[in-house]
Amino acid sequence: MPGDPVIDIHEGSAAARAALVGLDGKPGVSKPDSILTVDNVVRRFGGMTAVSVDHLEVQRGVITALIGPNGAGKTTFFNLITGFDKPSSAPRLIGGPKAGEAAKWEFNGTPLGMTGAAKVAKQGMVRTFQLTKALARMTVMDNMLLGARDQPGENLFISLIKPLWAAREKEVHAKAEELLQRFKLYEKKDDLAASLSGGQKKLLEMARALMSDPTMIMLDEPMAGVNPALTQSLLGHIQALRDDGMTVLFVEHDMHMVRHISDWVVVMAEGRVVAEGPPGDVMEDQAVIDAYLGAHHNTDLGDDSLLTDEVAEELAKEISEEDANTEGEKK
């Protein structure tokens, strides 16, 4: 709750995580120290309601995963709270929703309801995109430098005189090099971003977002297309970011990753938050399994050696038993 900080950031994220223990896992549960509080965010496209979130809080200093089936509204939700889209329930001058039902959300104590995307990013909530937006005809280094904030040289009049911005440029440059090294892109720094592979573009985008020292970073499917070895090291980086006090919210389909690093999981389906809780509990939740994971989410369907006739028969038997059970329950 803003104004009632239970946890000091500097105590580290362990305390923040500890604070989540024992929370009731029902959708919209209030967190001891929420950095982002969202209310009544509704987005309709014509007759279809893509997002309808009544209340959601994101705990400061932990890694929160946002999961859900395709079309659940996860990316639309991201767009809404980062200012790239406007909720249908936004307050309007004339007409619009009743007071108390209008969309509002707060980040770090600042209301963000009618703020443009650039201002949201300046507040410290920086996002990446599911379809990468690498600036193709700029070098990797230029991509990185663009991410840094407080650059005097970005003012038209100051930019003409190099000594006025050279010092800050040097700092930013050093920071970019360090991040590029961490993300294994240092050798590529003078290449055009267009020449990177899909996975490398994902990495570049994440590194670029980190250039601005965000308070909260929002990653839209960060690991899609990144090779397993690099995924491992990146997961380590994300955890390190959290341990430094950064809040991470990410959308991901890879359940191993979600289970591995997230401290809290929010499940969306058909635009609504259907469940939330610690990863272990959420994945046992029947509603989540039905809506998203499927009954056999622990079986590796990609492993051919497992798919012998016997296994197939066993699976078929299991399914029919389950069907019989559910029918039995209905009766």
The least distance separating other proteins from the CB of residue 263, rounded to whole angstroms, comes to 25
61-90 footprint of other proteins as x/- string (CB under 8 A): ---------------------x-x------
10 binds other proteins (CB under 8 A): no
Q: Smallest distance from the beta carbon of 117 to other proteins, in angstroms?
A: 4
Which two tokens mark 154?
């970005």
CB of 29 or CB of 192, closer to other proteins? 192
Pick the stretch among 34-42, 161-169, 291-299, 320-328 that binds other proteins (CB under 8 A).
161-169
How far, in Å, CA of 272 to CA of 74, rounded?
9
We find the least distance from the C-beta atom of residue 147 to other proteins, in angstroms, to be 5
Rounded Cα distance, 105 and 113, in Å: 6
Per CB under 8 A, does 176 bind other proteins? no
The site map against other proteins for 117-156 (x = CB under 8 A) is xxx-xx---xxxx---xxxxxx---x--xxx-x-x-xxxx
Place of tokens 């893509």: 50
Coil, helix or strand for 124? coil
Which residue, chain included where needed, has tokens 């995963």? Answer: 65
Question: Which residue is associated with the tokens 């990177």?
Answer: 196
Residues from 13 through 52 that contact other proteins (CB under 8 A): none
Specify the pairing of strand 125-127 against strand 216-220: parallel
Restricting to residues 268-297, name those near other proteins by CB under 8 A: none
Listed as own residue / partner, the contacts of 16-24 with beta carbons closer than 8 Å and 24 or more positions apart are 16/59, 16/60, 16/61, 16/62, 17/61, 17/62, 17/263, 19/59, 20/59, 20/62, 20/263, 20/264, 20/278, 21/278, 23/277
**Strand 264-269 versus strand 63-67 pairing type:** parallel
Query: Measured between alpha carbons, how far is residue 143 from residues 156, 171, 187, 278, 327 in Å?
Result: 19, 15, 14, 36, 56
Whole-angstrom distance, CA of residue 183 vs CA of residue 328: 53
15, 23, 29, 192: which one binds other proteins (CB under 8 A) = 192
Nearer CB in complex with other proteins: 161/301: 161
Nearer to other proteins, 121 or 238 (CB): 121
213 binds other proteins (CB under 8 A): no
Q: Are strands 34-45 and 110-111 parallel, antiparallel or unpaired?
A: unpaired
Looking at the Cβ atoms of 119 and 296, the one nearer to other proteins is 119
Judged by CB under 8 A, how many residues of this single chain contact other proteins?
40
Closer by beta carbon to other proteins, 151 or else 299? 151
Rounded alpha-carbon distances, angstroms, from residue 121 to 17, 192, 204, 206, 278: 25, 25, 17, 14, 28
Nearer to other proteins, 78 or 264 (CB): 78
Of residues 86 and 119, the one with the C-beta less far from other proteins:
119
Q: What's the rounded Cα separation, in Å, for the pair 197 and 231?
A: 15
Non-local CB neighbours of 30 within 8 Å, separated by 6+ positions: 1, 57
Nearer to other proteins by Cβ, of 188 and 208: the residue is 208
Which of 299, 103, 296, 122 shows the shortest CA–CA distance to 216?
Answer: 122
**Sole window of 203-211, 249-257, 275-283, 295-303 interacting with other proteins (rule: CB under 8 A):** 203-211
- Asked if 209 is part of the footprint of other proteins (rule: CB under 8 A), the reply reads yes
Closer to other proteins at the Cβ: 7 or 209?
Answer: 209
Q: Residue 143 Cβ, how far from other proteins at the closest point, in Å?
A: 8
Per CB under 8 A, residues contacting other proteins are: 82, 84, 116-119, 121-122, 126-129, 133-138, 142, 145-147, 149, 151, 153-156, 159-162, 165, 169, 192, 205, 208-209, 211-212
